[in-house]
Amino acid sequence: MAEPSTPQPKIAELFDEMLARKASDLHLGIGYPPLVRQRGDLVPIRELPVDAKEMEELLFEIINPVQKKQIIEEYDLDFAWAFGEKARFRANYMNKVTGLAAVFRVIPTRVLTLSELGTPEALVKLSDRRAGLVLVTGPTGSGKSTTLAGMINHINRNRACHILTIEDPVEFVHEPIKAQVTHREIGPHAKDFATAMRSAGREDPNVILIGELRTNETMKLALQLASFGVLVFATVHTNSASSTIERIVNAFPADEQPQVRGMLAESLAGIVAQQLLKTADGKGRVGCHEILIGTPAIASQIREGKTFQIPSLIQAGQNLGMQTMDMALERLVAQKTITAEAALEKALDKESFAKAVGVKMS
């Protein structure tokens, strides 16, 4: 006799539509139709808006009583949810003016390799490092998690080691290939990032992935772990290599900043600042990377607090795989992968960039 099939939750229909459209996100808000992000734009997938009753049916069916209590009492909830074998989603439930709302981000079930992602060779070299701090930075939705997953996947395929990930929630699930992989999620497995990071040293990891450095305490712990001979990957919400260094140093009180600059100069293996742009044909999106590699020259500028000199050191370090964001954008424009107008929008020095690619500033 055939097994009775498990009934699908009501939200499954929206998830199926989202996956069929190859959308990256699903936005649900009371008074609006369900929206999906396709190639960077939000588009409705039906005309009928979601009302309060339907919103509760869609959202509460896939969470447990503890999570329901959290969204009701704390107005905010983050978790990851597996849609059978089809996909995993990173979910954020929130409350806003119109009431309950949610955003679901697709986490692909298959981790793309660095070559499939078309990332520069420098990212492979950073993944091959044995120690140091590698920061992947960029605005929300710029593909940081996907790039990091590609780097962890490279290590997993090439090195017999112990990889520990500390995330909130766990996004990409890495099946062991050559490496042993331990996934720890904030909430179910650890109270917070700092607690998980403090115990990480005792778990004998060779590589640690930290979802996000949000506080100066987690920043300091990441720097300490990197100085202990561990390769540490983490994300920060900044737009360039020099602003990432500034952000970390400025997170500390003035009297601690010289020590932090010293630790950062010592431990920094590299910074990958990422943007995601629509391709010229409008059919997809492409990652663009600013890359800083930790060198003695970079270290001395960090120590001396001369971050304003970093862009020129990146330009001078092209033979090591370094590139500024504007150089990377110029290359994509020359290859006709992206339009000059789209590139200008993301360029850091807009005036020089407009001259270089021959477009007028609006």
Q: How far is CA 211 from CA 51, 249, 288, 311, 325, in A?
A: 34, 19, 21, 26, 23
Predicted local confidence at residue 356, as pLDDT: 87
Sign of torsion over alpha carbons 12, 13, 18, 24: negative
Contact 335, 300 (CB under 8 A): no
How far apart are the C-alpha atoms of 102 and 160, rounded to whole Å? 39
Query: Any idea what DSSP says for residue 99?
Result: E
- Element housing 96 (H / E): strand 87-96
| All residues at 6 or more sequence positions from 133 whose CB lies less than 8 Å from its CB, including other chains | 222, 223, 226, 232, 234, 264, 267, 268, 269
Q: Enter the pTM of the model.
A: 0.86
Predicted local confidence at residue 5, as pLDDT: 54
Predicted local confidence at residue 6, as pLDDT: 63
Determine the topology of domain 114-323 in CATH: Rossmann fold (3.40.50)
Tokens of 119: 């990332």
Peptide bond preceding 65: is omega within 30 degrees of 0, i.e. cis? no
Helical pair 325-334 and 350-357, crossing angle rounded to 10 deg: 20
Tokens of 160: 């017999």
Best CA proximity match to 341, nearest among 322, 321, 361, 324: 361
Q: Where are the domains of the chain?
A: 12-107, 114-323
| All residues at 6 or more sequence positions from 6 whose CB lies less than 8 Å from its CB, including other chains | none
How far apart are the C-alpha atoms of 36 and 39, rounded to whole Å? 10
How far apart are the C-alpha atoms of 344 and 350, rounded to whole Å? 6
How far apart are the C-alpha atoms of 212 and 136, rounded to whole Å? 10
Beta-bridge partner residues of 270 = 134, 293
Task: Say which CATH architecture domain 12-107 belongs to.
Answer: 2-Layer Sandwich (3.30)
Predicted local confidence at residue 362, as pLDDT: 65
Contact 302, 265 (CB under 8 A): yes
Q: Is there a shared CATH topology between the 12-107 domain and the 114-323 domain? A: no
Predicted local confidence at residue 140, as pLDDT: 84
> What average pLDDT values come out for the chain (362 residues) when binned by 10 residues?
66 95 94 93 95 96 94 92 88 94 90 93 97 95 92 98 94 94 90 94 94 93 95 94 96 96 97 94 90 97 95 96 95 94 91 85 68
